[in-house]
Amino acid sequence: MNSVYKKQALLSVAIITYNEENNIYDCIQSCMDIADEIIVLDSFSQDKTLDIAQSFQKVKIFQNKFKGHIEQKNKAIELCEGVWVLSLDADERLTKELRESINVALLSDTDIVGYKLSRLTFHLGRFIKHSGWYPTYRYRLFKKNYAYWTGENPHDYITIQGKGKKLKGDILHYSFKDLSHQIDTINKFSSIVSFTRFQKGKSFSVFMSILKPMAKFIEIYFIKGGFLDGYPGFVIAVSSAFSTFLKFSKMYEYQNKIIQRPSNLREDYGKK
Domains and CATH numbers, the chain: 2-173 (3.90.550.10), 179-255 (no CATH)
The pLDDT value recorded for residue 270 is 59
Instruction: Write the CB contacts of 198 (distance below 8 Å, at least 6 apart in sequence).
Output: 251, 254, 255
Confidence of residue 48 (pLDDT cuts 50, 70, 90): very high
Count, in order, helices (H) and strands (E) of the chain.
Answer: 8, 11
The pLDDT value recorded for residue 3 is 35
User: What pLDDT, in 10s, does the model give residues 248-263?
Assistant: 999 999 999 999 989 9
The pLDDT value recorded for residue 272 is 55
Dist. CA 40–CA 79, nearest whole Å = 9
Whether residue 110 is predicted with pLDDT greater than 90 in this model: the reply is no
Whether residue 268 is predicted with pLDDT greater than 90 in this model: the reply is no
The pLDDT value recorded for residue 182 is 96
pTM: 0.89
Q: 211-215, 242-246, 265-269: which has the minimum mean pLDDT? A: 265-269
- In the chain, what's the furthest Cα-to-Cα distance? 66
How confident is the prediction for the chain on average, in pLDDT?
Answer: 93
Dist. CA 120–CA 92, nearest whole Å = 9
Angle of helix 179-199 relative to helix 230-255, nearest 10 degrees, comes to 30
Cα atoms found within 13 Å of the Cα of residue 113, Cβ hemisphere only? 12
